[in-house]
Amino acid sequence: MRILTGDRPTGKLHLGHYLGSLKNRVDFQNKAEQFIIIADLQAMTDNWDKSEILKENIFSIVCDYMAVGIDPEKSTIFIQSQIPQLAELTIFFMNLVTVARLSRNPTVKAEIKQKGFNESIPVGFFTYPISQAADILLFKPTHIPVGADQIPMIEQTNEILRSFNNTYKCEYFSDVQPVISKVSRLVGIDGKDKMSKSLNNAIYLSDTENEIKEKVNKMYTDSNHIKVSDPGKVEGNVVFDYLNIFDENKEELEELKKHYQRGGLGDMVLKKRLISILNDLIAPMRERRFELEKNKDFVWDVVKTGTNKTFEFAQNSIDEIKKIMKIKYY
Amino acid sequence: MRILTGDRPTGKLHLGHYLGSLKNRVDFQNKAEQFIIIADLQAMTDNWDKSEILKENIFSIVCDYMAVGIDPEKSTIFIQSQIPQLAELTIFFMNLVTVARLSRNPTVKAEIKQKGFNESIPVGFFTYPISQAADILLFKPTHIPVGADQIPMIEQTNEILRSFNNTYKCEYFSDVQPVISKVSRLVGIDGKDKMSKSLNNAIYLSDTENEIKEKVNKMYTDSNHIKVSDPGKVEGNVVFDYLNIFDENKEELEELKKHYQRGGLGDMVLKKRLISILNDLIAPMRERRFELEKNKDFVWDVVKTGTNKTFEFAQNSIDEIKKIMKIKYY
């Protein structure tokens, strides 16, 4: 079992990331070979003029990784832009996809609309499904953890590898299996949208106890639950949404729900409970992160070591691929 | 003065190549640093499923290069696909060009039409002007020898480098100057189209004396010049077109033209003269080529040495470029 997973380095990671992917990675690293790509070049496809922030973002994401328990002895963390073999494979794959097919990719279509690119889509953004296929396939992974919205990307990847196998009369690549994360969506503290940095509705893995407190206190509960004695609603109550996910004492939680519904349970009691649960989860991460931030050299050494190891792996793969394509001439 | 020039390895080179570029390269190598790219990846953009012929074609083109006098001690000959830094730079540049701009490139437009791609253009073919800009710019050449039909590619390259300089607030790249070859077009032996392999109208640098004889004897002269005593036309006479280019004795040639025009000069005399001139030009190339073909190891060593030298140069360049882009993290 070999896993390829990773992130664009766009800033600090939050609880949505933790639940959607980081937690799984901590599990996966004990049962599979795991490569974690920090996709800085992919981040540049819609922020090519802001590359000066990447270094800091990479440092930050690696701290987050290690803070949640990703162990660089078990998982290989590397930086996309330092693996030129990924660029080479992207160029090879570009011959195997038509412009028309790319235009039909639903993920790309949606993102082009969302970012308002229209006619002025940069080629790098337009073609990033091909780069992504290369990022994945260079590692010949058996499984790819993804959110449900990423399924079209996996389909595109499988199309490309089949085309490669057909064109070069080989069976080098095998279909990639998506592993769809059970919790693919954590709602933000606004209770409306998916937790995301840009919507300013996120609880970060580096948040202080006070920040957690402030954010939980902002959460909507039930606007008709005015006095403590009023009966309150559990559905659509953001605090209960979070408790459902993070409160491990399911029995007590059921009691609390009943109590809230019949009245007599104040929001503050619930919020205090949630604050304490979230802080118990985040505090050790925050502390580990704090230590890591002070040891810049150690963190960069982890990245360097992982990237060098990946480079060797990648060189071996690209040599095999060039041999199949008959362009390994000597 | 630094020159970047090269060819797609599509087969044996012919007199059109010699006149249009090879001859200039032999001159340039004495007054400039000269890199010669064997663009195998570019050849794959419209022949991705025929990569098995590339090795032979590369060997053949290097023999042709050395046969005409390109000296690997003075010119650096390298293979595109073995320089991953070119793929990296291509990926960087892809963020700086829009899909709309690529669609307007006249050279690409014409080739898409010529090859009948329509809706099914492969991405690699569609984006090859970006790869080509990377092939050029990684070497920061001062001059690029091109045919007149390649001017739009140079314009696209200059647009990309200006965009790079603007985006990353630097003056790393300077505008590239095209050097337009004086003889950019040698007509084929059919007298109609440009000399080209696909039109089967070429005289190769490896042709035997007999092959040259046969080809020259097929050339049209003047269909009204039936008897030796008939007056003949010089304009539109393929044999004179060739003599104009290759006959260095301009005085005698003027005499022959006058004689032909007033009548009394037979086609066979002219053709014999042309055969002898072409054979005098080609014979030493053919002989050197014959020797080189027997020394496979030596030829591949030349390629390896040039490619290794280029790799080091390219690594230095890409490091500088990554530093400017702020993605050289450690």
Query: What would the DSSP string read from start to end of B207-273?
Result: --HHHHHHHHHH----TT--STTS----TT-HHHHHHHHH---HHHHHHHHHHHHHS---HHHHHHH
The answer to whether B95 contacts A131, with C-beta atoms less than 8 Å apart, is no
Chain B: residue whose CA lies nearest to A297: B330
Tell me which residues of chain B, numbers 216 to 245, contact chain A at a CB-CB cutoff of 8 Å. none
The reply to whether B126 touches chain A by the CB within 8 Å rule is yes
> For residue B78, which residues of chain A lie inside 8 Å, CB to CB?
none
Question: Which residues of chain A lie closer than 8 angstroms to B81, CB-CB?
Answer: 88, 322, 327
Mean per-residue pLDDT, A28-42: 97
CB contact under 8 A, B330 and A300: yes
Pairing label, strands A177-180, B33-38: unpaired
Q: Is the pLDDT of residue B115 over 90?
A: no
Question: A327 CB near a chain B CB, below 8 Å?
Answer: yes
Cβ neighbours of B95 in A, within 8 Å: 44-45, 48, 122-125
Q: Convert the pLDDT of each residue in A98-117 to its tens digit.
A: 999 998 888 888 888 887 77
Q: What is the b/e burial string over B88-114, where b = at least 16 CB atoms within 10 angstroms of the residue's CB?
A: bbbbbbbbbbbbebbeebebbeebbee
Residue B10, classed as helix, strand or coil, is coil
Whether A16 shows a pLDDT value over 90: the answer reads yes
Q: Where in chain A is the domain with CATH 3.40.50.620?
A: 2-186+296-324
Distance CA A46, CA B40 (A): 30
Residues in chain A with CB shorter than 8 Å from the CB of B121 are 98-100
**pLDDT at residue A183 in the model:** 67
Output the CA angle A223-A229-A231, nearest 5 degrees: 55
- Return the number of CB contacts < 8 Å for A and B: 137
Say which residue, A178 or A150, is predicted with more confidence: A178
Residue A91 to residue B88, Cβ atoms within 8 A: no
Euclidean distance between CA atoms A78 and A83, whole angstroms: 8
Residue A109 forms contact with B (CB below 8 Å):
no
List chain A residues with CB under 8 Å of B94. 122-124, 127
Q: What is the distance between the alpha carbons of residues B83 and A326, in angstroms, rounded to a whole number? A: 16
Nearest residue on chain B to A58, alpha-carbon basis: B329
Q: Decide if B113 touches A, using CB distance below 8 A.
A: no
Would you identify the CATH topology of the domain A2-186+296-324?
Rossmann fold (3.40.50)
A-chain residues near B300 (CB < 8 A) = 329-330
Beta bridge partners of B122: A98
Global pTM value: 0.94
Q: Which residues of A touch B130 (CB under 8 A)?
A: 123
Q: How many H helices and E strands in chain A?
A: 15, 5
Q: Which residues, listed in sequence order, are joined to residue A144 by a DSSP beta bridge?
A: A178
The edge-to-edge listing of strands for the beta sheet with B75-79 is: B75-79, B33-38, B2-7, B143-146, B177-180
In this structure, of A74-83, A158-167, A266-275, B105-114, the range with the lowest mean pLDDT score is: B105-114
Check CB contact of B168 with chain A, cutoff 8 Å.
Answer: yes
Average pLDDT over every residue of A119-144:
94
* Intervals of CATH 3.40.50.620 along chain B: 2-186+297-325
Q: Is B169 on the interface with A (CB under 8 A)?
A: no
Chain A nearest C-alpha distance from B97 (Å):
6
pLDDT at B107 over 90: no
Q: How far apart are CA A222 and CA A220, in angstroms?
A: 6
| Nearest residue in chain B measured CA to CA from A164 | B49
Whole-number Å distance between alpha carbons of A59 and A302: 10
Whether B112 has its CB under 8 Å from any CB of chain A: the answer is: no
Question: What is the per-residue pLDDT across A262-280, written as a single tens digit (0 to 9) for each?
Answer: 999 999 999 999 999 999 9
CA–CA gap between residue A59 and residue A108 (Å, rounded): 28
Q: What is the mean pLDDT of residues A62-77?
A: 98
Of A41-55, A158-172, A179-193, A316-330, least confident by mean pLDDT is: A179-193
Interatomic CA distance for residues A100 and A272, integer angstroms: 54
DSSP state of A201: -
Nearest-Cα residue of chain A relative to residue B299: A330
Give the span between the Cα atoms of A295 and B214, in whole angstroms. 78
**β-strand A2-7 against A33-38: which pairing, if any?**
parallel
Residue among B87, B75, B107, B102 nearest B5 (CA): B75
Contact predicate A228/A265, CB 8 Å: yes
Tell me which of A53, A88, A328 to substitute to probe the interface with B (most B C-beta atoms closer than 10 Å).
A88
Residue range B1-10, pLDDT digits in tens: 999 999 999 9
Q: At the topology level of CATH, where does A207-289 sit?
A: Tyrosyl-Transfer RNA Synthetase (1.10.240)
A residues 36-55 closer than 8 Å to B (CB): 40-41, 44-45, 48-49, 51-52, 54-55
- Across the strands, what pairs with B192? none
8 Å CB contact between A40 and A89: no
Give the nearest chain A residue to B307 (CA atoms).
A330
> How distant is the Cα of B226 from the closest Cα of chain A, in angstroms?
53
Measured between alpha carbons, how far is residue A9 from residues A56, A110, A122, A192, B200 in Å? 9, 21, 20, 25, 54
CA B282, B283, B289, B293 torsion-angle sign: positive
Q: Is the pLDDT of residue B103 over 90?
A: no
> Which residue out of A93, A94, A127 would a mutagenesis test of the B interface target, given it has the greatest number of B Cβ atoms within 10 Å?
A94
In Å, how far is B87's CA from the nearest CA of chain A?
A: 5
CATH entry, B2-186+297-325, from 3.40.50.300, 3.40.50.620, 3.40.640.10, 3.30.450.70: 3.40.50.620
- The tokens for B49 are 């499923």
Q: Name the strand (E) or helix (H) holding A36.
A: strand A33-38
Contact B127 A123 (CB under 8 A): yes
Contact B326 A54 (CB under 8 A): yes
ipTM: 0.93
Every domain range in chain B assigned CATH 1.10.240.10: 207-289
Mean pLDDT of B48-61: 96
The token pair that represents A8 in the structure block: 């664009």
Query: What is the pLDDT at residue B184?
Result: 58
Please, is B184 exposed, middle or buried when counting C-beta atoms within 10 Å of its C-beta (0-12, 13-18, 19+)?
A: middle
Closest CA relative to residue B242, chosen from B220, B209, B211:
B220
* A100: contact with B, CB 8 A cutoff: yes
Closest CA to A22 of A77, A103, A100, A90: A77
Distance between alpha carbon A96 and the CA centroid of its chain, in Å?
A: 28
Which residues 244-283 of chain A have a CB within 8 Å of chain B?
none
Whether the predicted pLDDT of B127 surpasses 90: yes
Q: Stretch B133-160: mean pLDDT, rounded? A: 92
A119 to chain B: which residues are within 8 Å by CB?
Answer: 98-100
Residues B11-36 pLDDT 10s: 999 999 999 899 999 999 999 999 99
Contact A330 B130 (CB under 8 A): no
Residues B4 and B136 sit within 8 Å (Cβ to Cβ): yes
Lowest model confidence (mean pLDDT) among A174-183, A286-295, B252-261: A174-183
CB B77 within 8 Å of CB B70: yes
